[in-house]
Structure 1
Amino acid sequence: MTTLWSPGEPGTLSDGRTRDRFGAGFLWGTATASYQIEGSPDADGKGPSIWDTFAHTPGKILDGSTGDVACDHYRRMPDDVALMAGLGVNAYRFSISWPRIEPEDGAVEMRGVAFYDRLVDELLAHGIAPVVTLYHWDLPQWAEDLGGWLERDTAQRFADHAEWMVENLGDRVHTWITLNEPVVASTFGYGFGTHAPGKVLMFDSFTATHHLLLGHGLAVQAMRAAADGDLRIGITHNLSPVHPETDSDADRAAAASLDAIQNRIYMDSVLLGEYPDPEVVGIPVDRSCVSHGDLAVIAEPIDVLGINYYNPTLVSAPAEGNPLPFELKQFPSEDVTDMGWPVVPDGLREVLVQQQERYGDALPPVMVTENGVAYPDTLEDGDVPRVDDPRRVQYLREHIAAVGRAADEGVDVQGYFVWSFLDNFEWAEGYRPRFGLVYTDYATQRRVPKTSYTWFQSFLGGRS
């Protein structure tokens, strides 16, 4: 039986490791995304994003909510950074709201730039390194009206946006992530329609995939050209180790197919300059959007790879009538999150080691740019408000230990970011799932650090 951690005990991992075991230069942080926390959808000249439009479309968000207020971070940023500093992190990953910077095509809003300028300065004043994600899904609505990621021109527009942000923040921001989880932006946004902009194109969503990846490569080129000094530039992929349900040839082929669709399309193109063989992918993909030289641009060398991990995936051969080349199964686990995801800590070690084995010298240093869990949290109000979340504490203790085991096996891991700093707007799920180290009381915008915050604080401050 697992013994749960309680406040007052040293902040160690499930295997007894302390922070010191990861080295002095390791980045320890939390992560957020602009639409999920900022609110203020039209403040200081901001234009609408595809998520503003999508969330205001009836029936798209499970609880009928929007990100109009979210965590009100746009107005409460200094207090949030102070709370972050109290946690003891040395890095914070946040995203830029593109429509806050460019509310209309080619029209830069300097008040939007000024917000991120203040945020960066506030972080640095507290000894926290800013790690900036340029695109975490909130495409300007005007760009979607011009075709969105189905149009090749969007890739160049994104590169222009990236160049502008480096010109304005590159003197203080060293680490940049171009895209967050292009697999989710493409598959859910353009394939299944469950995320903004809500297109249901199924296999034809590959056009959006390709243009997202092309935008990444063009952005890397533009950022390098605009930088006065050295930048560490990368991309973040949501990776999941895929397991066949049995060792049969049919199940193994199904696993190879999903691995190609979810992982290798994004990893092979960025690191090797190629897409997986169509026979392995197993679905009809129209690649006419790929022009000569595109893959060389997509494979522009990067300095760091962000890996987001939440759970492994189990598949079998498809049942009759299934148009996909695989059937999703429930991965066996002792615990399941509020999102219905299995809790498998060793899957994080597995996915990190898998990339090292698969790509070898082509794999740059990696950072775990997201890892976290949604559990039902209850605010115990009183003289001292309290949110006790021992399951999340144990989740973090076990998953960070898995990062340590991957490092023991030779993976060059240079950072770990908890998703998320605050409970926030969880996309199509609305406000029900709570991922935060800090509880957000949405009615009052009061922040209440959870027990997991206290544990992470102890871990970050503890020394062997």
Structure 2
Amino acid sequence: MEKQFPKGFLWGAAASAPQTEGAALIDGKSPSTWDKWFELEPELFYNGVGPEHTSNTYHMYKEDVHLMKEMSLNSYRTSIAWTRLLPDGETVNPKAVEFYRNYFNEMVANGVEPIINLFHFDMPWWLMEKGGWEARESVDKFAYYAKVAFEQFGDIVKKWATFNEPLVHIECGYMGDAHYPKVHDFKRAIQVAYHTLLAHAKAVEAFKEVGIEDGEIGIILNLSPAYAKSEEEADQAAAFHADLFYIRSFLDTVVKGYFPEELIAILKEHQLTPVVEEGDRQIFEDNTVDFLGVNYYQPLRVQAPLPQEFPAKGVGYFSRYYDWPDKVINPHRGWEIYEQGIYDIAMRVKEDYHNIKWFISENGMGVSEEERFFDENGQVQDDYRIEFVTNHLTKLHQAIEDGSNCFGYHMWTFLDCWSWLNAYKNRYGYYRVDLDDAFKRTAKKSSHWMKELSETNRLVIPD
């Protein structure tokens, strides 16, 4: 069976500056929260591996782009390090400008369209010391950084995104311990969310002011559809609230230009309303996105919450996790594999969000100890990844056939990269990175499979 994708469909991969570049504190770059956190508490990082070198792309970008061309990828998403471009938040670092211009031009020269994101969880330490996203100052600082990036690279890069998965730095940093500053405070998390979304809108405003010819700007959201345990009213209410906090709070705001009324009412009822300023609402209304990036890995399954004290101390007041007994699990990462979710999200964007242009900006399968799957030539035989992508692409193709306005698919990631607190425990790439052999890149079986798919624009499904 064969499934043809639309002409001009983007086939590529995704990554981020802090997870690939390395060169963490050289050539003028200042520390991010990850650099400083590793300095403060290295024992929290898997195998004691921090962000200093990651995948060494800062020094090996030409080789990486050459491999992208060999794979016949026509696009690639990565990010700019705020701390490299504006080490003190104000002064442009000429070495950063040189690096990124060379990197992006190298992509274009090799037929790879760069899609560039501005923030991938890497808050500058100088701004974190002032309160990070809790501080209103962060909004204008981010807008200025965005403007500088657009001015320096807008002649090369036409597709831009403001944030990658803003939910993650909000939830993991202010409702958990997985990101710095490890705060557990729902009200502070709401304020961080508000400033993040306002910073996004102000960056879109800066994009319009700079006026990049043929330019488009969007945002990358992790959208996990919420499925209720049952048809019972309490379970359905749990799914509604999970969707409201995790999806609509972002999607309604960036696509429609306003916060959901139901969310505003809940925040008011629970004394969680963030501090706002006059004129903010107009900024949101005037600066909606041109496209969406959708990161999809797993669904969110929920059920009615247990009784809790008022006011709410977290989203758990409204819904709690449900462990679906029939789930299929990636045993290495512990995440559910559910291809139907990619179709459901596609239809949601079509039906509820003006059928806005969008693409799969991340989808992938992390596997530990991939050396177990070496063949006699030392190549990883990652048939499990090929099966994972095939099954998801099948559902994505169905969504496109049913009218969803999807223009591309990017897998996380092109080559194995450093992952926050987990270093290289789980590998995701089309290419293996050998940390013990000068970061040598070696193609996995999936890279050859994707090369054929990208060249033919056609998914072949075995009978």
State the TM-score, normalized to the length of structure 2. 0.91
Alignment of 1:162-311 (within 5 A): 162-276=146-260, 277-278=262-263, 284=270, 286-299=272-285, 300-311=287-298
Unaligned ranges ≥5, structure 1: 1-14
Aligned equivalent of 2:138:
154
1:218 CA displacement? 0.5
Equivalent pair of 2:194/2:274 in contact (CA under 8 Å): no
Letter of the structure 1 residue corresponding to residue 363 of structure 2: N
1:463 CA displacement? 6.2
Determine the C-alpha separation between the residues in 1 that align with 2:280 and 2:52: 37
Match 1:428 to one of 401, 421, 431: 421
Instruction: State whether structure 2 residue 38 is matched by structure 1 residue 55.
Output: yes
1:16 CA displacement? 2.6
C-alpha RMSD of the superposition = 2.0
Equivalent pair of 2:373/2:382 in contact (CA under 8 Å): no
1:381 CA displacement? 6.4
Equivalent pair of 1:337/1:343 in contact (CA under 8 Å): no
Aligned equivalent of 1:6:
none
| SS across alignment from 2:371 | coil
Match 1:402 to one of 395, 400, 408: 395
Aligned equivalent of 1:372:
364
Equivalent pair of 2:350/2:356 in contact (CA under 8 Å): no
Equivalent pair of 2:13/2:77 in contact (CA under 8 Å): yes
| SS across alignment from 1:265 | helix
Equivalent pair of 1:257/1:281 in contact (CA under 8 Å): no
Letter of the structure 1 residue corresponding to residue 442 of structure 2: V
Aligned equivalent of 2:27:
44
Flag the 1:329–1:63 CA change in 2: closer, same or farther, 3 A. farther
Aligned equivalent of 1:437:
430
Match 2:333 to one of 307, 327, 339: 339
Instruction: State whether structure 2 residue 91 is matched by structure 1 residue 99.
Output: no
Equivalent pair of 1:192/1:200 in contact (CA under 8 Å): yes
Aligned equivalent of 2:461:
none
Flag the 1:197–1:117 CA change in 2: closer, same or farther, 3 A. farther
Determine the C-alpha separation between the residues in 1 that align with 2:158 and 2:93: 23
1:355 CA displacement? 2.1
1:375 CA displacement? 1.8
Flag the 1:280–1:336 CA change in 2: closer, same or farther, 3 A. farther
**Matched positions, count:** 445
Determine the C-alpha separation between the residues in 2 that align with 1:284 and 1:75: 50
Alignment of 1:11-90 (within 5 A): 16-17=2-3, 21-56=4-39, 57-90=41-74
Equivalent pair of 2:190/2:274 in contact (CA under 8 Å): no
Unaligned ranges ≥5, structure 2: 459-463
**Higher alpha-carbon deviation: 277-286 or 348-357:** 277-286
1:364 CA displacement? 2.0
1:462 CA displacement? 2.9
1:370 CA displacement? 0.8
Letter of the structure 2 residue corresponding to residue 77 of structure 1: Y
1:281 CA displacement? 7.3
| SS across alignment from 2:427 | coil
1:446 CA displacement? 1.3
Determine the C-alpha separation between the residues in 2 that align with 1:257 and 1:113: 44
1:38 CA displacement? 1.0
Equivalent pair of 1:131/1:174 in contact (CA under 8 Å): yes
Aligned equivalent of 2:352:
358
1:174 CA displacement? 0.7
1:333 CA displacement? 2.4
Equivalent pair of 1:135/1:180 in contact (CA under 8 Å): yes
Match 2:303 to one of 316, 338, 350: 316
Determine the C-alpha separation between the residues in 1 that align with 2:436 and 2:16: 21
Determine the C-alpha separation between the residues in 2 that align with 1:382 and 1:412: 40
Determine the C-alpha separation between the residues in 2 that align with 1:394 and 1:281: 43
Letter of the structure 1 residue corresponding to residue 101 of structure 2: D
State the TM-score, normalized to the length of structure 1. 0.91
Deviation per CA, 1:43-74, whole angstroms, max 9, x where unpaired? 21100001112233244324332111111111
Determine the C-alpha separation between the residues in 2 that align with 1:282 and 1:237: 25
